Amino acid sequence: MPKLSPSRSAAPPSPSARADQLLARRNLKMTNSAQSFVRGSTTQFYAWLRADGRVLPEGPPIWICGDCHYGNLGPVANAKDEVAVQIRDLDQTVVGNPAHDVIRLALSLSSAARGFDLPGAATARMVEQIVDAYQTALTAQRRPKDDRPPGIEGLIRTSRKRSWTHLARERIEDLKPHIPIGKHFWPLAAKERSALNELVASDPIHDLVTALQSRPSEAEVELIDAAYWVKGCSSLGLLRYALLVAVGEGKHRELCLVDVKEAVRAAAPRAANAGMPKDNAERVVLGARQLSPFLGDRMRASQVLETPVFVRELRPQDLKLEIEALDAGEAVRTARFLAGVVGRAHARQLSLEERTRWAAELNRNRSKSLEAPSWLWTSVVDLMALHEAAYLEHCRRYAKVAA
């Protein structure tokens, strides 16, 4: 499939001309692979969930990721630079049915397995292990030892070795204190720059960037540079800014990179009478603190130009899980490990009695020929067929644009 054309980034658009280019980039990016389409087409998944006659186990109403594909998991660091694999994208987080996260994870991993041309039996084993590991995480009275696949173990080792230099070269492509305008970063309107200066001067953001142990709470905080950030897939078209911020003065001055992202109403189904903040940025931050405490404690809710945004300082240790290729055995182990991560994120919100009851409910409609419950297997099969058809139609419409 065609990649984004280099010519598209040769001349970054003015702020008033962003929308059309961002939509075109998003549509083209989703033609790269069926996996890219699954990750970028969350509304397709939610439409399937809303279909009449859909019978799924109803779990206790808790904070869920809402978009729990494998690319939204990975190593993240807390303020002490400790690293753990947790959910790392919470835009769609709501108080909802935890079964939705299990299905979404199974769908994304099954799509990856098909992309790697693994046999269908491997997909069946992956789905079995997802349920088993998720249930084990729910019912364990103490955290079991992580059985990390080699790929994830290597990713965690890489994460722990990373420094500001790695982050600067990767994100802003330069160690000099500025953000280079180009393919990934576009110019700001004057009103945006003014609003971002106000944001950095606010107490919540000051507290955020001085939260690391090495930074005094009274340190001076200054916005050095800022740009519109062309990043992600499903978020393309929303407000997204990269801020280069200085903390402290003189020899104690440190630079940090801050991500500012628009918070929109979640498309993920929410539980009836769910108690959630009306402000979407506050919803994202609260959900993150429940599901991914390493990340959630590093996030703040605010506004830019009267638009709700959530803000986090990027840490060098934060890495996205990218699965390039796996054999059948590695795929099954990876599925099991990631299901355990999601299970622990859900379990920490429940009492032991609630966890035990929910784990038992997941066993409903188990087949004699398949270890996974039929509701999950049927869901994965239906969704794979639905997304494959939608992906091909999407390619017919948009891939030819770049041909």
136-173: burial string, b at 16+ Cβ within 10 Å, e else:
bbbeeeeeeeeebbebbeebbeebeebeeeebbeebbe
Segment among 159-173, 280-294, 309-323 with least mean pLDDT:
159-173
First to last CA, the chain: 9
Predicted confidence at residue 40, as pLDDT, reads 80
Are the C-beta atoms of 89 and 295 separated by less than 8 Å? no
Predicted confidence at residue 333, as pLDDT, reads 93
Range of the domain at 223: 164-314
Instruction: Report the C-alpha gap between 31 and 27 in whole angstroms.
Output: 7
* 192 in the same domain as 147: no
Using the predicted structure, report yes or no on whether residue 9 has a pLDDT greater than 50.
no
Structure tokens at 371: 């270890």
Predicted confidence at residue 4, as pLDDT, reads 30
The residue whose two tokens read 């280079």 is: 180
Q: Give the helix/strand (H/E) hosting 223.
A: strand 221-229
Predicted confidence at residue 73, as pLDDT, reads 94
Q: What average pLDDT score do residues 343-367 get?
A: 89
* 343 in the same domain as 288: no
The residue whose two tokens read 């990750």 is: 39
Predicted confidence at residue 400, as pLDDT, reads 64
Query: Is 335 a domain residue?
Result: yes
* 206 in the same domain as 278: yes
Domain boundary among 266, 296, 314: 314
DSSP string, 284-339: HHHHHHHH-HHHHTTEEEEEETTEEEEEEEE-TT----------HHHHHHHHHHHH
Q: What average pLDDT score do residues 150-170 get?
A: 81
Please give the residue that has the higher pLDDT: either 4 or 82: 82
Predicted confidence at residue 218, as pLDDT, reads 85
Please give the residue that has the higher pLDDT: either 373 or 308: 308
Predicted confidence at residue 174, as pLDDT, reads 55
Instruction: Report the C-alpha gap between 359 and 364 in whole angstroms.
Output: 10
CA–CA–CA angle 317, 350, 312 (5° rounding)? 30
Predicted confidence at residue 160, as pLDDT, reads 87
Predicted confidence at residue 94, as pLDDT, reads 97
Are the C-beta atoms of 107 and 69 separated by less than 8 Å? yes
Of the chain, the percentage scoring pLDDT greater than 90 comes to 49
Query: Is 2 a domain residue?
Result: no
Predicted confidence at residue 86, as pLDDT, reads 95
Domain boundary among 314, 342, 370: 314
Query: Is 4 a domain residue?
Result: no
H, E, C per residue of 85-121: EEECCCCCCEEECCHHHHHHHHHHHHHHHHHCCCCHH
Q: pLDDT tens digit string along 216-258? A: 888 899 999 999 998 866 666 789 999 999 998 887 788 889 9
Domains in the chain, number: 2
* 216 in the same domain as 102: no
* 214 in the same domain as 110: no
Using the predicted structure, report yes or no on whether residue 279 has a pLDDT greater than 70.
yes
Query: Is 3 a domain residue?
Result: no
- How much is the mean pLDDT over the chain? 86
pTM for this entry:
0.88
Predicted confidence at residue 1, as pLDDT, reads 28
Using the predicted structure, report yes or no on whether residue 6 has a pLDDT greater than 50.
no
* 179 in the same domain as 130: no
Query: Is 94 a domain residue?
Result: yes
219-236: burial string, b at 16+ Cβ within 10 Å, e else:
bebebebbbbbbebbbbb
Give the Cβ contact number of residue 47 at 10 Å: 13
Q: pLDDT tens digit string along 106-147? A: 999 999 898 888 999 999 999 999 999 999 999 987 766 667
Using the predicted structure, report yes or no on whether residue 296 has a pLDDT greater than 60.
yes
Are the C-beta atoms of 373 and 124 separated by less than 8 Å? no
DSSP string, 172-186: TS-SSSS---SSSEE
* 187 in the same domain as 303: yes
Strand partners, 240: 261
Nearest to 376 by CA among 34, 105, 71: 105
* 30 in the same domain as 90: yes
Query: Is 309 a domain residue?
Result: yes
* 340 in the same domain as 291: no
Q: What average pLDDT score do residues 273-298 get?
A: 94
Using the predicted structure, report yes or no on whether residue 87 has a pLDDT greater than 80.
yes
Structure tokens at 347: 């379990």
Q: pLDDT tens digit string along 41-81? A: 888 888 898 886 778 999 999 999 999 999 899 999 988 88
Domain boundary among 314, 340, 372: 314
* 117 in the same domain as 48: yes
Q: Which amino acid is at 313?
A: E
* 300 in the same domain as 170: yes
Q: pLDDT tens digit string along 183-226? A: 889 999 999 999 999 999 999 999 999 887 678 888 899 999 99
Half-sphere exposure of 288 (CA within 13 A, CB side): 27
Please give the residue that has the higher pLDDT: either 400 or 270: 270
Query: Is 5 a domain residue?
Result: no
The residue whose two tokens read 């404690």 is: 297
Query: Is 1 a domain residue?
Result: no
* Those residues with Cβ within 8 angstroms of residue 66's Cβ, 6 or more apart along the chain or in another chain: 90, 91, 92, 93, 94, 96, 100, 101, 266, 268
Question: What sign has the CA pseudo-torsion 54, 58, 61, 64?
Answer: negative
* 137 in the same domain as 29: yes
Predicted confidence at residue 33, as pLDDT, reads 82
